[in-house]
Amino acid sequence: MTVTIKDVAKKAGVSPSTVSRVLSGHPRISLETSRKVKVIMEEMGYTPNMMAKSLVSKTTNSICIILPKPAEELFSNLFFMELIRGIVTQSSRSGYDVLISSGANEKEELEAVSRLLKGRRVDGVILLYSRKDDAVIDFLQSGGYPFVLVGRSDRYEDILSVDNDNIMAAYDATNHLISMGHERIGFVSGPPNLIVSRDRLEGYRTAMQSKGLEMKNEWIVEGEFLQDSGYRAMSFFMNLPNRPTALVAVDDMVSFGVLRGLNELKYKVPEDLAIVSFNNIPLSELSSPPISSIDIGIYHLGYTASQVLIQSIQKPGNQDGYTNRFVIPHRLIVRESSMYAPGK
Amino acid sequence: MTVTIKDVAKKAGVSPSTVSRVLSGHPRISLETSRKVKVIMEEMGYTPNMMAKSLVSKTTNSICIILPKPAEELFSNLFFMELIRGIVTQSSRSGYDVLISSGANEKEELEAVSRLLKGRRVDGVILLYSRKDDAVIDFLQSGGYPFVLVGRSDRYEDILSVDNDNIMAAYDATNHLISMGHERIGFVSGPPNLIVSRDRLEGYRTAMQSKGLEMKNEWIVEGEFLQDSGYRAMSFFMNLPNRPTALVAVDDMVSFGVLRGLNELKYKVPEDLAIVSFNNIPLSELSSPPISSIDIGIYHLGYTASQVLIQSIQKPGNQDGYTNRFVIPHRLIVRESSMYAPGK
DNA sequence: CTGTGTAAAGCAAACGGTTCCATAAGGAGG
DNA sequence: CCTCCTTATGGAACCGTTTGCTTTACACAG
């Protein structure tokens, strides 16, 4: 039915090994033979069987993305899709296919990863989120399988990872507000167990300190990456005696909550409260007013993750002494929500 | 290095074929042998090599999703991610892996599909969007490869597809407004070359006609699935002498544009203009006011697509005389944007 | 005791490639 | 003219499984 290397060989009057060599560009094949074989391959519509190839070469030219379990929320969805696009684009440029996998729980996830890697269906794995993925990461590490983490992990120093410099990003965001003339700046953080929350908080603190600005404890509130947190934080802040004139929010969704609340109370943004947040989701520029945000380059994050992984697959001895943490640059996008210099 | 079926066989003192049969639950294996082999497999940490398996079985237990090219827009991203989740979940339940592929242009896309299918890397394909995919669809059809289309195609009657009943959905949306007491209802459509635009327009028309309501041409405007279209449509409608009291928009993004415009002009929703739109993206309930929307069950669309495809892979003779168009139910979610009964 | 039926397991040939080793044909050097 | 390289190709083993066909070993009927 399907045309194999042998069929091509027979028709071309050469041996299968010759055809194989033509395919792989082996140096010791005469130009004439090579051309002849190529023509015949074309004629017969030959496509190499990847399974057979993989079997002997012990290589699949494909990688796998492990999706965290639920991923139901808006930002997650946008984030993952953007990441996937970056990964798929880069992988495809490098000639790799991308598998998506996920499990209902950590056990299933581990089983899937093990099956894919030990079963030689993929050459490496991209892990999203640095939750407490101990089991999966341990498996990958002890098995010596190539993998890269998107997001930072503090537990493992020696694994490949791609991430932003969230400390610096938060520093930049805060500093932007300071340079606009703000002195009382609030911060809405995320869950304290996430490294990203901690890093961003640290960046905020550093900026405030370095400018000698006061940092009241009541100006820092914890929340989730959700609208509600913003809404609550807003009403808390606005009732403070000496309330902040600006705030940094750990995620754009939080800003939307803040915005909604301020709107209901007839406050004006940025005049009554200036806002900067993180992630620059497509909606940030669509809200009214548009929100200033730190673009973390999600697509780029995915693109680089794929690049790093494939590199590590192709030359496993990547211990060049170089770093194994890759930092994707961020970029502050200033929009209306922070374009106001407060009078003293 | 890795443990193969032969290693297991040797250690168990049986032949490789016996091990293989244990694996596949062959009936003619004694319980005793089966148990012994299983224990040893466990001990040695044996995982079957998928490539070898695929090579002989001519089956890969994996399917492929073809992502349309750019997919940069907000809705696309949300849509695709949701769809992917549905597909991955179902596939994983059926024991299939999912590959994601895309091409920069139609030619690349065709090459990728051809390579994957002819190269026996996947067993079937899920196509998203029914653009003028002639080349890819033609290839799949003429090659007899299993595939399913998400979205409707009018050109091909005999291919598997999963879709909503957009005509009925638009009918329901329109009818909802009518039953609230609206009589002058506008419609903001999408690009006329998309079937989904045409279907939704048709549903609107049917509803209006069936209630004997007048349909002025000026109440129907064409646009894109973007905010801007909504913004423009809004200002057009509001300047009409006898303007609509409600409108149906082909996509939630359009509604957001309408909302923004009305807000700027100090109009109130739903009192001055009631709104219903389609797709029920996560933001619909977060805007102010929350927007009534038709939920089209994107996750379900993906879930079903995977199901249908895998079924068709497993028993190719799926011409049971049954339909090959699978319709996913939609659901009207009524929110504040349409909760107002206009006085005459 | 021989013939037959049946259950359990082994043998070996695929599946479609790759690659090491061998071979044949020139051409160069002595 | 013979030997030795070099270059282009062929042969065959192997990658890890599956599976049709045998073989083996009993058990039982005749």
Q: Establish whether the CB of B50 is closer than 7 Å to any nucleic acid atom in strand C.
A: no
Q: Establish whether the CB of A68 is closer than 7 Å to any nucleic acid atom in strand D.
A: no
pLDDT tens-digit profile of A312-343? 999 876 555 567 889 999 999 999 999 998 87
- C16 C1' – B338 CA distance, angstroms? 62
The pLDDT value recorded for residue B76 is: 75
Contacts of A26 (CB under 8 A, 6+ apart): none
Contact list in B for residue A255 (CB cut-off 8 A) is none
List the 157-216 stretch of B: residues with Cβ below 8 A of A: none
List the 13-52 stretch of A: residues with Cβ below 8 A of B: 45, 47-52
Shortest Cα distance, chain A CAs vs residue B178, angstroms: 30
Centroid of chain to Cα B103? 19
Q: Are residues A237 and A172 in the same domain?
A: yes
Cβ pair A47:B100 closer than 8 A? no
What is the percent of chain A where pLDDT is above 70? Answer: 94
What the block records as the tokens of B310 is 């895998």
Contact list in B for residue A62 (CB cut-off 8 A) is 99
Among B204, B257, B268, B205, residue whose Cα is nearest residue B235 = B257
Mean pLDDT over each residue of chain A, to the nearest integer = 90
Least confident of A29-38, B55-64, B118-127: A29-38
Are residues A293 and A253 in contact, defined by beta-carbon separation less than 8 angstroms? no
pLDDT tens-digit profile of A121-180? 999 999 987 565 578 888 999 999 999 999 877 766 788 999 999 999 999 999 999 999
Cβ pair B99:A62 closer than 8 A? yes
Check pLDDT > 80 for residue A38. yes
Task: Check if B81 contacts A (Cβ < 8 Å).
Answer: yes
Taking the stretch 30-49 of protein chain B, residues with Cβ within 7 Å of any atom in nucleic acid chain C are 30, 32-33
Q: Establish whether the CB of A59 is closer than 7 Å to any nucleic acid atom in strand C.
A: no
Q: Establish whether the CB of A13 is closer than 7 Å to any nucleic acid atom in strand D.
A: yes
Question: Between A45, A54, A92, which is nearest B51 by CB?
Answer: A54
Q: Are residues A143 and A216 in the same domain?
A: no
Check pLDDT > 60 for residue B321. no
Contact list in A for residue B92 (CB cut-off 8 A) is 101-103, 112
Check pLDDT > 60 for residue B72. no
The pLDDT value recorded for residue B202 is: 96
Shortest Cα distance, chain A CAs vs residue B54, angstroms: 6
Sheet with A147-150: list strands edge to edge.
A325-328, A161-164, A147-150, A124-128, A62-67, A97-102, B97-102, B62-67, B124-128, B147-150, B161-164, B325-328
pLDDT tens-digit profile of B221-255? 999 888 889 999 999 999 999 899 999 999 999 99
- C7 C1' – B28 CA distance, angstroms? 7
Check pLDDT > 90 for residue A99. yes
Least confident of A22-36, A161-175, A244-258, B313-327: B313-327
CA distances from B263 to A266, B188, B273, B285 (A): 14, 18, 11, 17
Question: Which has the higher per-residue pLDDT, B157 or B50?
Answer: B50
**DSSP code string of A110-170:** HHHHHHHHHTTS-SEEEEE--SS-HHHHHHHHHHT--EEEES--SS-SSS-EEEE-HHHHH
Q: Are residues A177 and A194 in the same domain?
A: yes
How many domains, in total, are found in chain B?
Answer: 3
Predicted TM-score of the model (pTM):
0.92
Q: Establish whether the CB of B56 is closer than 7 Å to any nucleic acid atom in strand D.
A: yes
Q: Establish whether the CB of B59 is closer than 7 Å to any nucleic acid atom in strand D.
A: no
Check pLDDT > 80 for residue B336. yes
The pLDDT value recorded for residue A106 is: 82
The pLDDT value recorded for residue A130 is: 57
CATH of the domain at A139: 3.40.50.2300
Q: Establish whether the CB of A192 is closer than 7 Å to any nucleic acid atom in strand D.
A: no
Q: What φ, ψ does residue B264 adopt, rounded to 5°?
A: -60, -35
Contact list in A for residue B71 (CB cut-off 8 A) is 81, 85
Q: Are residues A209 and A260 in the same domain?
A: yes
Task: Check if A263 contacts B (Cβ < 8 Å).
Answer: yes
The pLDDT value recorded for residue B236 is: 93
Q: Establish whether the CB of B57 is closer than 7 Å to any nucleic acid atom in strand C.
A: no
Q: Are residues B41 and B151 in the same domain?
A: no
Domain presence at residue A126:
yes
- D18 C1' – B193 CA distance, angstroms? 50
Q: Are residues B287 and B315 in the same domain?
A: no
Amino acid present at A166: N
Q: Are residues A265 and A184 in the same domain?
A: yes
The pLDDT value recorded for residue B73 is: 66
Question: Between B77, B98, B286, which is nearest A100 by CB?
Answer: B98
Q: Are residues A32 and A82 in the same domain?
A: no
Mean pLDDT confidence for A29-33 = 89
Domain presence at residue A57:
no
Q: Are residues B10 and B104 in the same domain?
A: no
Confidence of residue A194 (pLDDT cuts 50, 70, 90): confident
Q: Establish whether the CB of A30 is closer than 7 Å to any nucleic acid atom in strand D.
A: yes
**Chain A residue with Cα closest to B116:** A50
Question: Which has the higher per-residue pLDDT, A301 or B26?
Answer: A301
Domain presence at residue A56:
no
Domain presence at residue B57:
no
Task: Check if B290 contacts A (Cβ < 8 Å).
Answer: no
pLDDT tens-digit profile of B256-315? 999 989 988 999 989 999 999 999 988 888 788 899 999 999 999 999 999 999 999 998
Q: Are residues A268 and A304 in the same domain?
A: no
Q: For nucleotide D6, give the residue with the nearest CA to its C1'.
A: A28
Contact list in A for residue B67 (CB cut-off 8 A) is 85, 88
Mean pLDDT confidence for A73-80 = 77
**DSSP code string of B23-67:** HHT-TTS-HHHHHHHHHHHHHHT----HHHHHHHHT--SEEEEEE
Are residues B136 and B110 in contact, defined by beta-carbon separation less than 8 angstroms? yes
- D12 C1' – B8 CA distance, angstroms? 27
Domain presence at residue A54:
no
Least confident of A74-88, A115-129, B206-220: A74-88
Domain presence at residue A55:
no
Shortest Cα distance, chain B CAs vs residue A217, angstroms: 30
Find the domain containing A15 and state its range. 5-48
Mean pLDDT confidence for A186-198 = 90
**Chain A residue with Cα closest to B256:** A286
Across A298-327, b (16+ Cβ under 10 Å) vs e yields: bbbbbbbbbbbbbebbeeeeeeeeeebbbe
Q: Are residues B31 and B130 in the same domain?
A: no
Mean pLDDT confidence for B63-80 = 78
The pLDDT value recorded for residue A74 is: 66
Confidence of residue B11 (pLDDT cuts 50, 70, 90): very high
Domain presence at residue A10:
yes
Contacts of B66 (CB under 8 A, 6+ apart): B101, B102, B109, B112, B113, B125, B126, B127, B128, B136
Cβ pair B81:A80 closer than 8 A? yes
Q: Are residues B198 and B256 in the same domain?
A: yes
The closest nt to B56, taking CA to C1', is C15
pLDDT tens-digit profile of B185-211? 999 999 888 889 999 999 999 999 999
Domain presence at residue B81:
yes
Check pLDDT > 80 for residue A63. yes
Among B282, B265, B261, residue whose Cα is nearest residue A77 = B282
Confidence of residue B317 (pLDDT cuts 50, 70, 90): low
